[in-house]
Structure 1
Amino acid sequence: MDLKDYVKTFNFSYDNLKSKCEEDFNSLYELEKEWLGNLEDKVHLLKNVKHQAELNAVIGKLKADDPFTKDDTKILSTFVSKVNTIVRIANRINNFKEETKLDDGSKLELYIFFNSVKNSTDLNSFNYPLNSNLNNFLPHIYSVIKHCQNPSEYPIYYKYWKNIIREVLSKNDDYDSICEFYRTFPEINRHLNFATYLGTIGIQIAKNINSSGIRLTSDSKEYKYLTKDVINIERYNSILDENLNSSHQYFLVGAYWDGSNPSDQTERFLQNGIWENGYDDKFIEEVKKVPVGGRIAIKAAFTREKTKSVMAIKARGIVSKNYDNGKKLEVNWEKNFSPFEVDFSGGYWATIKEVTNEEHVKEIWFPNEKTESKIHAEVIYNYLNNSLSHRKIQSEVLGEEAPARGGGFLAMEILHSYEIQGDKKGILKKTPFNIEYQSATGKYLEALDLLKRNYPEFDISTENNYNMTFPLNTILYGPPGTGKTYNTVLRAAEIIENRKIDSYDEALGIFKANLHGQIEFITFHQNYSYEDFIQGLRPDTENDKELTFERKDGVFKVIADRALKNIIASEQPPIAKKTFEETFNEFVNPLVEGEVEEIEVKMKKVSYFITAITNKSIEFRKTSGGTGHTLSISTLRKMYDAESVLDIQGLSSYYSPLLDELLKIGKDSSGKKEIIQRKNYVIIIDEINRANISRVFGELITLIEPDKRSHGKIPMEAKLPSGDTFIVPSNLYIIGTMNTADKSIALLDIALRRRFEFEPMYPKYSENGLNVNDEAVLKSINESIISDKGHDFQIGHSYFMDSKEDPYDFERRMNVKVIPLLLEYFMNDAKTVAQIVSKALSNTEYNIDEKSWPLRITEKND
């Protein structure tokens, strides 16, 4: 049963629903009887006594035979501007303002318009010349006027009611059809009973989702359909979310405890019916949030043949108790579970991670159900590799009927969606996959990527395809709030993985996992220097006797050296290298076995002494006698794998000599042959235009050009002031961001402009696929800014978007973010800013309080 079939199961009659759902119906009836009764009975809810009298006068005239006259314009204007307060149809009715210009050149006269509505019998035959904007809102004001005139015949036109009538009851949702259905309900309290009936259906849809067998995630198209096209009321969405979160949350958890014996805790967890967090200071809040009824699976992510990411699912279970201490869960593990592998691991490296990707949920918890991507892969495989026709794929592979004539069936639709033409039938029997892959573009490349992920025999001979579509030097530029920094995370992850990534959560996981390894992130500022970026002198913190200085590499040189080391190693014959565990155990074994009391590690001038090994750390004392110092074993493992020291908060000088000792042990003839794969590295420079570029880059500004890099046509080396030679490697990508509204800094160095590709990032709106709130306000503000100051000073769409960290609140966002930014743009010219904001708020419930300072918006008074 799909979601649309599910909602139709609640197509109950009024009497049937009252009987089946009596408690929910009565509860909602009491809750809504003040707001969803007849409009004439709730005029008292207006705070202003004068406005109450004016609305009652309009309702009285609508019920009487006398027509409205020009003298009634004032009370009619009050009606259209204030009735929304007690009707709650957003800001639609108040668009009908006296003297609004109409398409025929005339101006709206409210008394004539109200008389026309009053004398009409149905909306379909109502014909009144308005304009395109007012025509959009006509059903809403028409329904309110007719409801005031005769509440037992005409309901108010709510979007939610339309949705339920269309999607659940399978009836026409135009206003006249709704009226016809409305008139079938008992006449006493008809409006309230009608509202309660439709509302109770929404409650049932939301609260029974768990028993439907339908799996929803908050980022799925099914969830969006349900919350926007069916139960689009916050109250019902909250009920839905509460039920989804209570039993349909999925989590991947780890069972590897570094340094424990055994390291893999899976067997203990299964025997004791538990899962435990092995950290005392990490993932505490994440574990606390796992609900009873949540599904968890134990995973083990690893790399096969050095390049292919694989994840094994070792156990699955349902949480029966959360101890709420961030450490322990009780779990009913599945009996007779058979471990299996999935071909993705990106984003799931953490000890605990919620799985929200619908296809990943299906592959882990419902592996017998074919995901959409697997179905697509099967169709593509049988066409490109097995030479099957469309119809054979439809009948033999998909097991569905294939019509003898015509097209339009699933197999054809899938192939056409990937733009796979007839000449590609059986192509992989004639052309090696890697050759076909290297020449593929667009949708066809996506099809071949599907084959790589689903058919292991094709995931070969493409590992050295490093022809990235991204330039080596890029600057993302645009006004604030347009997603420049946000997009650097996605871009960096795609460069590191050398593939397209659609999920931002997955990209963020890759970014975090590679930060200070293959990725560095820095922010330029006015005092940023060559010494910070490339190389300089710093005090020697190891020398307690006298003040001396040592050479210190900056962040750019550190990652450049790391990338160069990798690119050179990838071109060398395989080397012998033991695993980290083998090497580390060999090094610390004398201490662990009690043969020695300490292990000396020699530094440049002094030594330090390892005194103990715990599950997670190495304890040591300094020569000066200082104790209580530790190094992380997991950090040391990363350094060993990368053969490079990470800059860890001043501890690099302690890790470096220890790493050298381990590499001496690890690289001997007894180790296994290891092929070093070429990797991509990324340095992100946020706010690149805020520093003195000439001073920061110095002579290296030329070396970042693609043809001057290590593997370019004319590779160039520079000699640093220290005497070190330096070259920029060809596998290091530089991504900068530049705020075009920041004019407090000198114009960007022309030398940098010539060496970077500039990608514009300007405000986007809903037509770009984004969920931008109060879009009309944003567009109006930006139109005014463009007119006065140009495109570079616009307000970015992120200011009007929701996020977990900062839930959207229109009034708050305007007052603490948008208006202060506008005041900065216009040099605290309150009058100009007030004009821009007032214009943008013209069709909203807000206005600007020009008497306050700083300027702020408030809700309009009744």
Structure 2
Amino acid sequence: MNKIEKAIEFVQELAANFGAKSEEGANDYIFRNNTSKDALKQGGAFFGLISPEEEVSGPYHDFSLVIFPDEGDKPWLISLVAGSLGFKNDYELAALPGVRRLYSSIIDQNGFCKTSFLDIESNLPKQFMSRIPHLNNSLKRYLKLITACNIIQDPSSEKDQKMIAGFVAAYAQIRNFAGNDPARNAIKKAISEVATKIEVDEEEEVLKLVENRKFVILQGAPGTGKTRLARIIAQKLNSESFFTQFHAETSYSDFIYGIKPDLDAGQLAYEEKTGIFYDSLKKAEENPEKNVVLIVDEINRANLSNILGPIFYLFEYQLEIEKVSVKIDIGGGYEISKIPSNYYVIGTMNTADRSLAVVDFALRRRFAWYTLKPKPIKPAVDLKFFKKDFSAFDDIFTWYASSEELNLQPGQAYFIATDEAEMKDRVKYELMPLIKEYLAEGVLTNARDEFSKYFYDRLGEVLFE
């Protein structure tokens, strides 16, 4: 048995292991094999799985799993391919963000994934094709149809067999081959063995970022721990921290410097009023040996241009190493030309509230931005993290949310409670109203039925009357 025959047998065994039925009259796929000597020599050789509704040969519709082999020792290509006749039953499947995210998670540095699986008009990038020129003849009819692919250096190696298994498992998942737990577990295992895993120590990363850039915005959906992390970083810097929260009426005089009526003067009189930025900056300047951190919660809830005024210029993180002669009076004769090196600003921004003020590009350039995403956590000893509920939301958002809608996913704090009764109340009185509001605003509408099923299963209540 040559290596192509072995690979064909391996793919069919994988499909069966992942739950695909192959008995007559109940096929989950049609297997196509065009690996004759002529096809391998002249180009056009391939084998793979297509929809059972299609013919055994000729043009076909919808997604297929196709491998383009080589008879020598040169690399192969494994791919998810849109049918040459376009989409008949898979248009909605191709439009699901989760399908693209699934394949994007399993390809490595030798792979390529289109930004939209509905795109069957764009060729594979020339830069990618330059790595497999020997497959040009085989791929010429598929250049626009390949949505995700990965180069296979050696189909007999353990590494590449895991990649093949990952692609077949992903195809089995989108085709719903699995009809029992062993098959579902096998699919999950095969995908996890090639899925990109990036373990990130957020505290360490943000601490280094703050130390390097000094002015940092932590952005993310509610419940992702932005304010908590800002306080932790302030502690790790051994700093004296100042805290404020912006709102729609926050002004320059509130934040930096202004005047207020002196109610005890007996006549019309005013006195100076220093804001938290003025006070914290003064503290840093007068105590150069001490780190000072200003935490600005919900920084995008206010008109930032009005609040920052002339100090906007100072938030240039490399300003302290430049020779600057400009001095800015921030109030009451207090002039400064640069922000002290022991002064840090950490802002938090809620990405779920789309009614908030837009942060302009000039300000974005002056701050470093770090995104916090929902993730499973280990809560305090007297609390429980309800992983099943978290995973249900995570799965729905992963499969149905657009890139922008991912910013709306409730963070891990929503799934921390003392007991089941408290968690059930949180689902009913916090999460369910939140999702209703999202749907009413026209977002996440393609996940409506998934949310409805979750809430009915969890609470026995319908999402909409």
**What's the TM-score once normalised by structure 1's chain length?**
0.28
1:740 to 332, 343, 351: 351
Separation in 1 of the partners of 2:252 and 2:409?
A: 33
Q: 1:737 to 1:771 in 2, by over 3 A?
A: same
Q: 1:133 to 1:736 in 2, by over 3 A?
A: farther
Ranked by relative contact order (alpha carbons within 8 Å, sequence separation 6 or more), the top structure is 2
2:221 to 452, 469, 479: 479
Is the partner of 1:702 in helix, strand or coil? helix
Q: 1:763 to 1:702 in 2, by over 3 A?
A: same
Q: Does 1:765 align with 2:376?
A: yes
Residue in structure 1 matched with residue 285 of structure 2 by the alignment: 564
Shift of 1:683: 0.5
Structure 1 contact 712–730 (Cα < 8 Å) conserved? no
Alignment of 1:672-711 (within 5 A): 678-709=289-320
What code does the residue aligned with 2:450 have?
I
Q: Does 1:714 align with 2:324?
A: yes
Separation in 1 of the partners of 2:333 and 2:386?
A: 54
Q: Does 1:135 align with 2:51?
A: no
Residue in structure 1 matched with residue 245 of structure 2 by the alignment: 523
Alignment of 1:359-378 (within 5 A): none
Is the partner of 1:538 in helix, strand or coil? strand
Separation in 1 of the partners of 2:398 and 2:332?
A: 53
Separation in 2 of the partners of 1:758 and 1:468?
A: 10
Greater gyration radius: 1
Q: Does 1:837 align with 2:451?
A: yes
Residue in structure 1 matched with residue 231 of structure 2 by the alignment: 489
Structure 1 contact 522–686 (Cα < 8 Å) conserved? yes
What code does the residue aligned with 1:707 have?
Q
Shift of 1:715: 6.8
**What's the TM-score once normalised by structure 2's chain length?**
0.51
Q: 1:758 to 1:522 in 2, by over 3 A?
A: same
Separation in 2 of the partners of 1:830 and 1:717?
A: 47
Q: 1:756 to 1:489 in 2, by over 3 A?
A: same
Separation in 2 of the partners of 1:133 and 1:841?
A: 24
Residue in structure 2 matched with residue 105 of structure 1 by the alignment: 21
What code does the residue aligned with 1:837 have?
F
Q: Does 1:802 align with 2:417?
A: yes
Q: 1:726 to 1:808 in 2, by over 3 A?
A: farther
Q: Does 1:550 align with 2:271?
A: yes
Is the partner of 1:526 in helix, strand or coil? coil
Separation in 2 of the partners of 1:788 and 1:757?
A: 21
CA deviation profile, 1:490-534 (whole Å, cap 9, x unmatched): 11111126xxxxxxxxxxxxxxxxxxxx21111111111000011
Is the partner of 2:237 in helix, strand or coil? helix
Shift of 1:560: 0.4
Q: 1:841 to 1:745 in 2, by over 3 A?
A: closer
Give the number of aligned pairs: 270
CA deviation profile, 1:22-67 (whole Å, cap 9, x unmatched): xxxxxxxxxxxxxxxxxxxxxxxxxxxxxxxxxxxxxxxxxxxxxx
Separation in 2 of the partners of 1:133 and 1:681?
A: 57
Residue in structure 1 matched with residue 163 of structure 2 by the alignment: none
Is the partner of 2:432 in helix, strand or coil? helix
Shift of 1:717: 2.5
1:536 to 258, 261, 267: 258
Separation in 2 of the partners of 1:496 and 1:831?
A: 42
Is the partner of 2:287 in helix, strand or coil? helix
Separation in 2 of the partners of 1:467 and 1:796?
A: 22
Q: Gapped runs of 5+ residues in structure 1? A: 1-100, 108-129, 139-441, 446-465, 498-517, 568-677, 853-862
CA RMSD of aligned residues (A): 3.9
Structure 2 contact 220–349 (Cα < 8 Å) conserved? yes
What code does the residue aligned with 2:347 have?
G
CA deviation profile, 1:66-98 (whole Å, cap 9, x unmatched): xxxxxxxxxxxxxxxxxxxxxxxxxxxxxxxxx
CA deviation profile, 1:348-369 (whole Å, cap 9, x unmatched): xxxxxxxxxxxxxxxxxxxxxx
Structure 1 contact 785–791 (Cα < 8 Å) conserved? no
Shift of 1:790: 2.8
Q: Gapped runs of 5+ residues in structure 2? A: 1-16, 24-176, 186-200
Residue in structure 1 matched with residue 432 of structure 2 by the alignment: 819
Structure 1 contact 762–796 (Cα < 8 Å) conserved? yes
Shift of 1:846: 4.5
Structure 1 contact 480–796 (Cα < 8 Å) conserved? yes
Q: Does 1:778 align with 2:393?
A: yes
Is the partner of 1:477 in helix, strand or coil? strand
Shift of 1:851: 5.2
Shift of 1:829: 6.1
Separation in 1 of the partners of 2:424 and 2:387?
A: 12
CA deviation profile, 1:442-468 (whole Å, cap 9, x unmatched): 9xx9xxxxxxxxxxxxxxxxxxxx997
Separation in 1 of the partners of 2:448 and 2:423?
A: 17
Structure 1 contact 765–797 (Cα < 8 Å) conserved? yes
Is the partner of 2:440 in helix, strand or coil? coil
Residue in structure 2 matched with residue 226 of structure 1 by the alignment: none
Shift of 1:714: 3.5
Shift of 1:827: 2.9
Separation in 2 of the partners of 1:478 and 1:742?
A: 10
Shift of 1:686: 0.6
What code does the residue aligned with 1:521 have?
F
Q: 1:539 to 1:816 in 2, by over 3 A?
A: same
Structure 2 contact 428–459 (Cα < 8 Å) conserved? no
Shift of 1:784: 5.1
Separation in 1 of the partners of 2:434 and 2:21?
A: 39
What code does the residue aligned with 2:428 have?
N
Which shifted more, 819-828 or 546-555? 819-828
